[in-house]
Amino acid sequence: MRLWQIRPELGDREGGYLLALTHLGHLDPFCSSILLRRPMHWMTRREFFVNRIYGWLLSRAGAFPVNRQGIPVRAVRRAIGYARDGRIVGICPEGGRKLGADAAVRGGRIRKGVCSIAIRAGVPIVPCVMVGTHDLSRVGPWLPFKRARLWVAYGEAIHPPPGPSTREKRERLREQLSETYQRLYREVCDRYGIDDAWTP
């Protein structure tokens, strides 16, 4: 595919951090894992682990299940442990694929779990906006080769406030991440002439 990246070096930083990725298409985590040179551990909806074969493949790829309905204590502890150990933990803070006004790139609500993990683990959040993955599930963009297009923008690391996690700290961090998503999306659209109407 044809790939355009803005500040990719921010995603290749050393040490543990949370890669907070937008979710406009189903292939966002997959594409992100390919683009970054370091291995990643993705927080993945437990529904994807129901199928034994698929669940085994996800586990081999470093993914681990998270229950989005209840309080995902086990998954959160695992994510904190990975991040503290210097690894990359991938999270889609929207909690699933969001479109239109609900998308984080347009100011849609994002969950504060990523903020809580960052504060408790003491690691930064690296925001990442990915545009174009919604079109990659069709055959058309792939044939002939080099027609599929993907735009990726990384933001500066957002460092969590020190001390214990509080509602005020999580909300402040969430607002900062939300503003960064919108700014990165505008940067991608302006730089590459992408019409907002084309993005779902």
Per-residue pLDDT, averaged over 166-188, amounts to 97
Contacts of residue 86, defined as CB under 8 A and 6 or more positions apart, other chains included, come to 14, 15, 16
Looking at the predicted structure, is the pLDDT value of residue 153 above 90? yes
More confident residue, 68 or 33: 33
pLDDT for the residue numbered 4: 97
pLDDT in tens, 37-91: 899 999 987 777 778 787 787 777 788 888 766 667 889 999 999 999 999 999 9
Looking at the predicted structure, is the pLDDT value of residue 139 above 70? no
More confident residue, 55 or 22: 22
The model's confidence at residue 120, banded by pLDDT at 50, 70 and 90, is very high
pLDDT for the residue numbered 70: 65
* 3 state SS of 153: strand
Q: Provide, rounded to the nearest whole percent, the portion of the chain with pLDDT above 70.
A: 94
Looking at the predicted structure, is the pLDDT value of residue 151 above 90? yes
Taking each helix axis as running N to C, give the angle between helix 73-84 and helix 113-121, from 0 to 180 degrees, rounded to the nearest 10.
Answer: 40
Please name the residue that has the structure tokens 């991938």: 90
pLDDT for the residue numbered 20: 98
Contacts of residue 72, defined as CB under 8 A and 6 or more positions apart, other chains included, come to 66, 113
pLDDT for the residue numbered 39: 93
CA 84, CA 87: separation in Å to the nearest integer?
7
The two structure tokens encoding residue 2: 């044809």
The two structure tokens encoding residue 57: 């493949």
CB 26 within 8 A of CB 52: no
User: Rounded to two decimals, what is the model's pTM?
Assistant: 0.90
Mean pLDDT of the chain: 91
